[in-house]
Structure 1
Amino acid sequence: MKSILFLVATFFICSTLDAAQVDTLSVFSKRMDKNIKTVVILPEGNKPTSTLYLLHGYSGNYANWVNNVPHIKDLVDRYGYVVVCPDGGFDSWYWDTADKEYQYETFITTELIPFVEAKYGIASERTNRGITGLSMGGHGALYLAFRHQDLFAFAGSTSGGVDIRPFPNNWNIKGRIGAYHDHEKAWNEHTVMELTNLIEPGNLQLFIDCGTEDFFFGVNNKLHEKLSYLNVPHHYLTLPGKHDWKYWSRSIDYQMAFFNQCFQATSKTK
């Protein structure tokens, strides 16, 4: 973790002026037959070669990150990769469900990624893609990365709801996949905690963080313990903080420094 801390410290010393370009797009989803609002933050200067997909939390929307954490534009300019913030619906958890208007796994993995890369001419190798998010989006990022390792080489989560099962009555999860007591199999299949067996050795680099006062702190600790037990390499960071934008405004610095290290390391091997 020392290298990540160093990069974050360097950012605060050498912060750039806000010059990033912010595009708000309407991306049509054929699967859901509707347009999905998406914010794309592009660095000034050289053409970017890598992309970080950054997911919002429950009840949020595509504009949350850029509106609530304005210095994310400085981070984009400093690191030189694109950040894409799609709308994930009020309570989708980034799954495909029985509701045809909630097919967000398909949207991100088969519709959004090729659209963004074609529009902005960004490299399409998996080593040029990362995905992370907060809360529901933290769960969504790991869920998508574990299930689509052909698409993502790097994944993260900040304050992620990485195990949904301790919360059977919260955030309309049961409205998406059924009540836990009637659909236990579906809950196991839709929670990150039970998908760690999908991780292929050496295939994903992971960075997970959570605030020590967060109601998701316990499940994040358990995921960290499980990954350690399974000998899955990962970075795990805990900081003082609650489940709020004050914490996420800090944690995004560590998250984006991590992805910058990943992109830089892979670019040197090509």
Structure 2
Amino acid sequence: PVHVEGPLPVILSIHGGGWSSGSKARSPAIRFAARGYAVASINYRLSGEAVFPAQIEDCKAAVRWLRANAVKYNLNPDRIAAFGSSAGGHLAALLGTSAGVAELEGVKPQPEESSRVQAVIDFFGPTDLLVMGGMHDRPDSPESRLIGGPIQELKDKAARANPILYLSRDDPPFLIVHGDQDRVVPLRQSQLLHEALVAAGVESTFRVVPGAGHGFSRPEIDELVLAFLERHLKRPVARQGWVDPDRSEPAGTMYRVFHSQSACGEMSYLVYLPPGYHSSQQRYPVIYWLHGIGATQRTGATRAGFVSRIDAAIRNKQMPPVIIVLVNGLRDSWYVDSLDGRRPVESAIIKDLIPHVDATYRTVAARSARAIEGFSMGGFGAAHLGFKFPEWFGAVTIVSGAMLPATEPGNYAAFGFNRDYFLANSPHVLAEKNAAAIASGTRVRILVGEKDPLLEGNRRFHEWLLRLGIPHEFAVIPGVPHQVGRMYEALGDRTPQFYSAVFAAAVGEAAVSAASFQPPRDSTL
């Protein structure tokens, strides 16, 4: 679609054709692009070229590619639906139930990206190949060609193609549609999938279309699909996203909600507590991690791998134990108070979240023991907050930051499309305004990938800080694009080394046990 704002939810369209024919060229999902969705119609290896699981491997590779290129194409990497009919419906369903199943991932381009989808639309797709019966059991049937031999003689392999095999409670919601006069894929195939989803506790909507055969187009079904997509890809979260509806707790984090006076209600976050926290009276430094545009508070513990890397470094005594807070920055707040006052994210963090964390956990409530770091939009946010409130943060890390130049008009909704308000919140302007305070007590680093489209913006910001006399580290990481997981993987031990050096100065204030870690000799990038 054209003339749209913000990252778009994505429909991954998977064609049918008995796994042996068909093409991405004719996608029934294209008609939904006019309703505010990006549509990615894909090809996959057909059964005449490669047998199962090549087809699902290609679908998973497509999802990972979309996430890896989300910034480039203005896509929301956390709002992807799989949509397919017939054989495409089967692959969409399998994509929905097999997230994290290594044997179906194949060779992994963009290995740091997840192949999980957030919704599935399955139109009359096969489910259990072994119970379809009749012509489907023949050695030359589409199902047998998919598996690489007669399915009743290769039952174990055929069973691996059944989406039900991989079901788990955390699978995404399904919409299943099937005609009651389908003579190609029996209606019972969709019934089996729906029943299994419901039994596993997964949301499933099942619509039987009276009088419809194997393929149909009806306005009421289009409206059903759009309503499903709106609910699951465009759904408004509670109070404009202040409370993340996903209460999962990845990578050793805990999901927490507190009352934010600025937000006039509850606000969620994830917190990581280091090993030994509950068995000691020790106080700890805190790192606040800010996600990018279209992402969520979970990103630092999932796609970024930030939490797991810090945890490993603490356990290996490469850095002192710290608390990590993964901040809910809404979808596209830029970590500022919106001009219209409806999304006061800056105030919620500075006035509410940080005091709440210091009151709730055993933190060292001091500038030298508090750091802020963010990726992309979060990098902008880390610079914005760190440079506007230098007395609050002893370290600011900008990772692949969306460092919008001060000369660019304020063309983002958070700034009310107001250039003056944009400039008032610009890290460039704030760095100049508070240069002395930043230079005297904040360690700053800027990290960006060599292949990142935001490289030049980060380089210009580095040069701006040089002109302002603000000491900082600037590193271009070889071969890394705008991908959060790739960046942290490439940084390796350098992030723990940085924080070891940052928080070493806070040891006296922090009552961090000097015996609990040994800072490395060379702790610079």
Specify if TM > 0.5. Answer: yes
SS for the counterpart of 2:302 is helix
Match of 1:15 in 2: none
Among 75, 92, 101, the alignment partner of 2:333 is 92
Relative distance call for 1:177 and 1:74 in structure 2 (3 A) is closer
Deviation of 1:26 after TM superposition, in Å, equals 1.0
Match of 2:395 in 1: 154
1:226 and 2:480 equivalent? no
1:260 and 2:504 equivalent? no
Amino acid at match of 1:196: A
Q: Cα deviation per residue 1:86-127 (whole Å; 9 max; x = unaligned)?
A: 110000000012333311111111111111111112111111
Structure 2: how far apart are the matches of 1:107 and 1:227? 28
1:29 and 2:260 equivalent? yes
Structure 2: how far apart are the matches of 1:163 and 1:73? 30
Deviation of 1:258 after TM superposition, in Å, equals 1.2
Count residues in correspondence.
Answer: 245
Match of 1:242 in 2: 481
Structure 2: how far apart are the matches of 1:252 and 1:161? 22
Match of 1:58 in 2: 293
Q: Is the 8 A contact 1:41 1:83 kept in 2?
A: yes
Structure 2: how far apart are the matches of 1:253 and 1:30? 38
Match of 2:324 in 1: 83
Percent identity of the aligned residues?
Answer: 24
Flag structure 1 segments of 5+ consecutive residues without an equivalent.
1-19
1:113 and 2:354 equivalent? yes
TM-score by length of 2: 0.44
Amino acid at match of 2:459: N
Deviation of 1:168 after TM superposition, in Å, equals 5.5
Match of 1:174 in 2: 412
Structure 1: how far apart are the matches of 2:402 and 2:367? 25
Match of 2:273 in 1: 42
Deviation of 1:268 after TM superposition, in Å, equals 5.3
Bigger Rg, which one: 2
Match of 2:446 in 1: 208
Q: Is the 8 A contact 2:286 2:325 kept in 1?
A: yes
Relative distance call for 1:85 and 1:71 in structure 2 (3 A) is closer
Relative distance call for 1:253 and 1:26 in structure 2 (3 A) is farther
Q: Is the 8 A contact 1:161 1:216 kept in 2?
A: yes
Amino acid at match of 1:234: H
Q: Cα deviation per residue 1:156-200 (whole Å; 9 max; x = unaligned)?
A: 11000122557769xxx5212233xxx332222222122221122
Relative distance call for 1:63 and 1:196 in structure 2 (3 A) is same
Amino acid at match of 1:32: A
Deviation of 1:260 after TM superposition, in Å, equals 2.3
SS for the counterpart of 1:92 is coil
Name whichever of 233-242 and 248-257 sits farther off: 248-257
Structure 2: how far apart are the matches of 1:192 and 1:145? 9
Structure 2: how far apart are the matches of 1:75 and 1:57? 19
Deviation of 1:68 after TM superposition, in Å, equals 1.6
Match of 1:185 in 2: 420
Structure 2: how far apart are the matches of 1:160 and 1:42? 27
Relative distance call for 1:252 and 1:202 in structure 2 (3 A) is farther
Q: Is the 8 A contact 1:52 1:130 kept in 2?
A: yes
Match of 2:307 in 1: 72
Amino acid at match of 1:120: Y
Relative distance call for 1:76 and 1:156 in structure 2 (3 A) is same
Name whichever of 158-167 and 227-236 sits farther off: 158-167
Name whichever of 49-58 and 21-30 sits farther off: 21-30
Match of 2:343 in 1: 102
Q: Cα deviation per residue 1:110-163 (whole Å; 9 max; x = unaligned)?
A: 111111111112111111100010000011011101111121111111000122
Amino acid at match of 1:105: E
Relative distance call for 1:168 and 1:254 in structure 2 (3 A) is farther
Structure 2: how far apart are the matches of 1:51 and 1:92? 22
SS for the counterpart of 1:68 is coil
